[in-house]
């Protein structure tokens, strides 16, 4: 009889290690996000020392939402190789879905208040007609469009935040991937999608108030008496939580064999087919899940912005998104976060009049005009000289360790 060596001891190198142990950047990210959230809370007007204005809290909260859509973009582009130039359409749809409820429910409360002062209580029909007249007066209509039927229901509109972007991505992706549209043609197709959607929403008879968009979204129905300094913190926390959860989800998705397969699709999709993987199914999965997360990011963003209109989902927005991810560093989630935070904060500083103009004697650099030039040059420079982006700098830090 020979001594049989058990298989498990024959393969010690393959002992499965924990997800966090394999991905130390996730712990780092969570820690930094936590510290940042606590710091902003302590410094805020609503809950702390008041060193950070409510307006700045909103900007920071919105930036966290932009970071969330940026990591979604990184998964779809940096990991799976699909250069989608239409993900802001999903972001906008999420914003519209929650905006409909915010606007409807708030108007309804106001209407009930004013109608309720009469001696006869108003009927439901009267309330609904008055709400419609109030919301759609601006586009010369007083009828509630069909898509607003359930706008008074928060659970329904929350479901729409996920379902509308998800279904659009599913149908669009199914048509595009099934026909094996790839590369620049796919990018153009996604641009066409977001352009078409934006033009469609610009029309008054779409039922979403045309170019006026939805406004007053910062006022949360039922919480009219809570000051914005408090509400802004609620949304800030929600955005930080969503970013953390999204980061964890995507880090898990791209870490295992699934990540291996989608990176392989990025590098050589024909080869992956011959390994027996249904490439189209994977692309559709990634496209749809990132669209859903983008929708959630939008639903958190627009109540902080206060207003959404069709210009938000113009093609240029999605191109900016690609620029953020490229500058931050593709194929690494923290790179996308860095790129989105850095570029969007810099943009609001320079275009918001925060940065001093530079007088060169003969010539004056006015940042509001020159910001786009700077961004363009930055993008070209990163693409040419630092293809790994800002996030690539971390490689040097990590490599120093034994």
Contact residues toward another protein (CB under 8 A) are 7-8, 10-11, 13-14, 16, 253, 256-258, 260-261, 263-264, 267-268, 270-271, 273-279, 281-282, 285
Q: Is 161 exposed, middle or buried (0-12, 13-18, 19+ CB in 10 A)?
A: buried
181 vs 261 by CB, closer to another protein: 261
Locus of tokens 């409909």: 100
How far is residue 349 CA from its own chain's centroid?
20
* Least distance from another protein to the Cβ atom of residue 267, Å: 6
127 in Cβ contact with 115 (< 8 Å): yes
Closer to another protein by CB, 30 or 253: give it: 253
- Please say which residue, 112 or 263, places its beta carbon nearer to another protein: 263
Contact 320, 347 (CB under 8 A): no
Euclidean distance between CA atoms 185 and 190, whole angstroms: 9
CB of 275 to another protein, least distance (A): 6
Contact of 134 with 111, CB cutoff 8 Å: yes
| Nearer to another protein (CB atom), residue 207 or residue 331 | 331
Contact in structure between 186 and 315 (CB atoms under 8 Å): no
Nearer to another protein, 71 or 284 (CB): 284
Q: Which residues pair with 129 in a beta bridge?
A: none
> Closer CB to another protein, residue 174 or residue 342?
174
Task: Identify the helix (H) or strand (E) that includes residue 214.
Answer: strand 214-215
Give the nearest distance from C-beta 284 to another protein in angstroms: 8
Distance (Å, whole) CA 235 – CA 88: 20
Sign of CA dihedral 227, 346, 318, 64: negative
Which of 284/308 has CB closer to another protein? 284
Say if CB 263 and CB 330 are below 8 A apart.
Answer: no
State in angstroms the smallest separation of the CB of 248 from another protein.
Answer: 14
Minimum CB distance to another protein, residue 400 (Å) = 20
Nearer to another protein, 122 or 259 (CB): 259
Q: Which is nearer to another protein, 209 or 283 (CB)?
A: 283
Q: Are 297 and 73 in contact (CB under 8 A)?
A: no
Shortest distance, CB of residue 395 to another protein, whole angstroms? 14
Residue 163's contacts (CB-CB under 8 Å, 6 or more residues apart) are none
**Least distance between another protein and beta carbon 329 (Å):** 15
- Residue 271 or 364 with smaller CB distance to another protein: 271
Q: What are phi and psi of 359, to 5 degrees?
A: -100, 115
- Chain CA centroid to CA 69, Å: 3
For 388, residues 6+ apart whose C-beta sits below 8 A from its C-beta are 329, 330, 335, 395
For residues 148 and 100, the answer to whether their CB atoms sit within 8 Å is yes
The least CB distance from residue 270 to another protein, in Å, is 8
Question: Which one, 112 or 266, has the nearer CB to another protein?
Answer: 266
Write 155-159 long-range contacts (CB < 8 A, 24+). Answer: 156/101, 157/97, 157/98, 157/100, 157/101, 158/97, 158/98, 158/101, 158/299
């Amino acid at each position: 009889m020979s001594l049989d060596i058990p298989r498990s001891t024959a393969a010690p190198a393959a002992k499965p290690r924990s997800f966090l142990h394999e991905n130390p950047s996730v712990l780092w990210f969570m820690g930094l996000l936590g510290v940042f959230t606590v710091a902003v809370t302590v410094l805020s007007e609503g809950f702390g020392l008041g060193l950070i204005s409510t307006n700045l809290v909103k900007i920071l909260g919105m930036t966290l939402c932009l970071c969330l859509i940026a990591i979604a973009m990184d998964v779809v582009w940096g990991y799976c190789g699909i250069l989608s130039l239409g993900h802001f359409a999903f972001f906008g749809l999420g914003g519209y879905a929650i905006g409909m409820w915010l606007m409807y429910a708030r108007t309804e409360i106001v209407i009930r208040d004013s109608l309720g002062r009469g001696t006869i209580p108003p009927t439901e029909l009267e309330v609904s007609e008055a709400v419609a007249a109030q919301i759609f007066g601006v586009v010369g209509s007083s009828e509630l469009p069909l898509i607003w039927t359930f706008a008074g229901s928060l659970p329904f509109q929350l479901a729409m935040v996920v379902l509308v972007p998800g279904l659009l991505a599913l149908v669009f992706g199914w048509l595009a991937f099934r026909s094996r549209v790839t590369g620049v043609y796919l990018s153009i197709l996604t641009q066409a999608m977001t352009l078409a959607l934006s033009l469609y929403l610009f029309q008054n008879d779409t039922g979403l108030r045309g170019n006026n968009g939805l406004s007053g979204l910062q006022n949360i129905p039922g919480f009219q008496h809570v000051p914005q300094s408090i509400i802004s913190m609620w949304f800030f926390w929600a955005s930080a939580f969503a970013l953390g959860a999204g980061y964890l989800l995507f880090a898990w998705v791209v870490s295992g064999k699934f990540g291996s397969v989608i990176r392989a699709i990025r590098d050589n999709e024909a080869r992956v087919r011959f390994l027996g993987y249904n490439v189209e199914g994977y692309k559709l999965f990634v496209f749809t899940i990132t669209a859903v997360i983008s929708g959630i990011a939008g639903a958190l963003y627009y109540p902080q912005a206060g207003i959404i209109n069709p210009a938000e989902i113009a093609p240029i927005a999605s191109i900016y998104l690609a620029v953020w991810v490229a500058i931050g560093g593709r194929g690494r989630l923290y790179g996308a976060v860095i790129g989105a935070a850095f570029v969007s904060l810099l943009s609001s500083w320079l275009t918001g009049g925060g940065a001093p103009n530079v007088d060169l004697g003969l010539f004056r650099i006015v940042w509001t005009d020159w910001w786009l030039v700077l961004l363009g040059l930055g993008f070209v420079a990163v693409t040419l000289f630092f293809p790994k982006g800002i996030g690539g700098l971390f490689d040097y830090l990590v490599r120093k360790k034994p």
